Amino acid sequence: MVLDHRIRSLLQEIARRVAPKIIRLPLKQARRAFHIASKQLPEVRLPLRRIENRTLSGPGGSLPVRIYHPFGTPPFPALLYLHGGGWVFGGVDTSDAICRFLSHYGQCVVVSVDYRRAPEHPFPAALEDAYFTLGWVSQNEELLEIDSTRLGVAGDSAGGNLAAGVTLLARERGGPSLTCQALFYPVTRYGFDTESYRRFGTGYYLTKEEMQWFWNHYLPNPGDPVPSLASPLDAERLHDLPPAILITAEYDPLRDEGEAYARRLKAEGVPVQWKRYPGMVHSFLNMSGLVEQSRQALEEIGQQLHQMLRKAPTSENTDTSIS
């Protein structure tokens, strides 16, 4: 399918800008530029029963979280959400609209966490913050008005990488038990040699150069072997993981590694619901006020989460077609 015309216009506008590339800026300025650019993306923010901010005492100190409560009668299922931004940028503000959709359509309490960011805190700091928050959620049923036996994890881009890592870590450490995982155009492998990188590595919102920069900031020693918790597609085994929702975007350099992860999950017996969204680019879920397909995707994902978090997982693999 051809690139969505509204996204094409957005990419043309980005290409016309004379400002230096964000990765050429000093880190503090780059983070501010990312935050401003994220706020300029048109997004739909759904109303919820309650949204609250808290600060936990995490592995590295203060750990801010934002908690989204849907309308309805508790207890609700719970979903840990991990924002994107290449492990370097982003926070609970940049994933706010997505979390509102997931809470509303998923009928679940969403806990979004401001994990520690690279390069000040390289791997595995963000992953340990995510795992710590998952444990906190599972241990606070009354406070959060949740049923901790129905617990999922989700994330977009680098946050999808962390969500995949958390499922592996929870398996290795014996819990908390997860009902599902939802990975949105995730980073699943260290490497830049896929067909989607070759075709869409420049000019399609996320670039190959940016991903190389992100990885160089995230890994403490870039020359060393990459741990499978940072590159989950390289994990020795992926069985005994929770059922997965995995989405990719047609014009995304990360498309092929995300779809390879879905195939590996399925091959190792993990139930998978997986879909490629045609005409879309990386981060299209942050464009719900610009592209109707973004809003439709968020509604679909929320409804899938609602079903997965309300029902016991099955052992049967489920796939949506990849075009």
Distance CA 287, CA 139 (A): 34
Residues 6+ apart with CB under 8 A from 255: 185, 194, 196, 200, 248, 249, 276
| Both tokens assigned to 208 | 């190959």
For the record, the structure tokens of 116 come out as: 């520690």
The active-site residue, picked from 157, 196, 231, 288, is 157
Q: Is 321 exposed, middle or buried (0-12, 13-18, 19+ CB in 10 A)?
A: exposed
DSSP 181-225: EEEES---SS---SHHHHHHSSSSSS-HHHHHHHHHHHSSSTTSP
Look up 288 and say whether it is catalytic: no
- The span from the CA of 201 to the CA of 28, in Å, is 25
The catalytic residues are 157
